[in-house]
Amino acid sequence: MMWISLCLAFLGLFPSTVLGDQRLKTCSDMRMLYSSKGFSVAGAPSAEISGEHLRICPQGYTCCTSEMEDNLAKRSLSEFEAMVRNASNTVQMMLTTQHNSFDSYFQELLDQSEKNLHRKLTHMYGLLCAENSKIFKDLFSELRHYYKGANINLEEVLNEFWSRLMECQFKHQNPHYQISDEYLECMVKHAEPLRPFGEVPRFFKMRLTRVFIAARSFVRSLSLGTDVVKKVSQVPPSPECARAMMRLMYCPHCRSMASVKPCNNYCLNILKGCLANHADLDSEWRNLVDSMVQVADRFNGPSNMESLVDTIYMKIAEAIQTMRDNRAHISSKVLQGCGHLKSVSKRSTEDDPRRRGKPYSVEERPVSLATPPMDRLVTEVKMKLRDVRQLWVTLPSALCSEKVTAGLANEDRCWNGQNRGRYLPEVMADGLANQINNPEVEVDITKPDMTIRQQIMQLRIMTNRLRNAYNGNDVDFQDTSDDSSGSGSGDACLEDGCSRRRFFNAATRSPVVYAIPEQSGKSNPGNGGNVLQCSAASFHLLALALALPFFCR
């Protein structure tokens, strides 16, 4: 009996060591946390109770009832969704800011170039500009429509502009003749081989078209990136993910371990399981970012976009002057090939002082821009894009850091999903296929999320367009032309009788390249009859858009 008394006294001195710390603990921390989440603590235990009723957290002694566990599970799910949404909002805001900066600056370049053209031609040619300004206004209108994604063939727009300008010049140089539409058609046919505008049309074809192709592809890729991030962030977590997030975020509180932070690797495995489909975006997302950076590089250098767009007005003025200088030779060849014209007046408008204008003096400066130069915008956007290049594979670690895990220094004293201690399982690799043995989240690798698969396809298509644009090949944006609705097929024709089209050097038009998703790592340019082969019914609208031919107006 004396030995028994001594043993009991010994156990009374060291209860936590011998009995495994099974003394009932107070639940004041849990009640405080539960109340801070907006729940009533009326049914919350004041001290630990037996946890056989728990379905998510470990069933040891606990401070949580079944109702508390259900409420906190829902709360952990909504908080996880908010974390993903907040992370995506940061990326969306960055992409939107870069889109708006680039778009505003490019359109301002166009506006100022148009104003400078009107200013210079008015000084050079007087009423010539005023009477025929619609030709120039229509050109810039078409350039804007094209940039915004309208289904317009840019080279045909330029060909038509040169034809109309040639007609305008020919009429202006021969005001005492009556000139019919049929004669103008003949004139264009005979005058074009003489290169009436010198090298300017070739300059527009070779350099300006590349700038516009690259600019509209780049700005559309920024919009698409924003849209992809938004849609992916709205993909709901699986029920298995919701249970795992509860174990990560609130089960330690139920076990009276409010001060014990989750193990870093434990958090990573949960987040990699929850975001497995998101990680599958990584390859195509990186391809998109790399292609955007490549295209952005086209905007800098000695032939940068800023100087080329700003050169439009000077080149057009140069072309007009070239035709004026060679008017005698051109008129002679046209009259020789098309016949003589009927005279209607002996007075030439060239003699009208109101029409002659005056030379363009050095003091008459072009309108300048007040916004930052293009090189600064390009440098910033490239830096921002590189920051999010690995967005989808770094998201789990970013969210775990936000959750403030214990870190590697405390890996022996962190919450491992069951208790305080080291987390032993290895960290899973990224992506859906690598989650087959995830110890924390049950993931069905045979059922990929269809919303994310659709966004992967969109990224692939946009990357192909950027690669084509980088090489100077035009692509069709009809299927993603959100901001150009109504401007693609009919409203860009502003000229009276513009159905009568005579294209200047139309035979120089290069083939149009259509964006077809890569199937084996290689670009697959096709033509208007190609159709995207896709078995999923959810891609049928995308496939239909790709099948539409890129008709010129």
Average pLDDT over residues 225-241: 95
Higher pLDDT, 463 or 529: 463
Residue 463 has pLDDT above 80, yes or no: yes
Residue 63, domain member (yes or no): no
Q: Are 56 and 73 in contact (CB under 8 A)?
A: yes
Residue 155, domain member (yes or no): yes
Residue 174, domain member (yes or no): yes
Residue 550 has pLDDT above 50, yes or no: no
Give residue 433's pLDDT band: very low, low, confident or very high (50, 70, 90).
very high
Q: What percent of the chain has pLDDT over 70?
A: 73
Lowest mean pLDDT among 196-210, 386-400, 413-427: 196-210
Amino acid 167: pLDDT: 86
Residue 304, domain member (yes or no): yes
Average pLDDT over residues 288-297: 94
Residue 52's SS3 state is coil
Residue 12 has pLDDT above 60, yes or no: no
Residue 2, domain member (yes or no): no
Residue 545, domain member (yes or no): no
Residue 318's SS3 state is helix
CA distance linking residue 539 with residue 419, whole number of Å = 46
Instruction: Let me know if 383 is exposed, middle or buried by CB neighbors in 10 A (0-12, 13-18, 19+).
Output: exposed
Average pLDDT over residues 145-158: 90
Amino acid 404: pLDDT: 62
Give residue 30's pLDDT band: very low, low, confident or very high (50, 70, 90).
very high
Residue 410 has pLDDT above 90, yes or no: no
Range of the domain at 107: 84-343+374-471
Give residue 252's pLDDT band: very low, low, confident or very high (50, 70, 90).
very high
Residue 77, domain member (yes or no): no
- Number of independent structural domains in the chain: 1
Residue 93, domain member (yes or no): yes
The predicted-structure confidence for 319-354, as pLDDT tens digits, reads as follows 988 988 888 888 888 888 888 877 775 544 444 444
The predicted-structure confidence for 497-537, as pLDDT tens digits, reads as follows 333 444 455 333 333 333 333 433 444 433 333 333 333 43
For the chain, the average pLDDT equals: 78
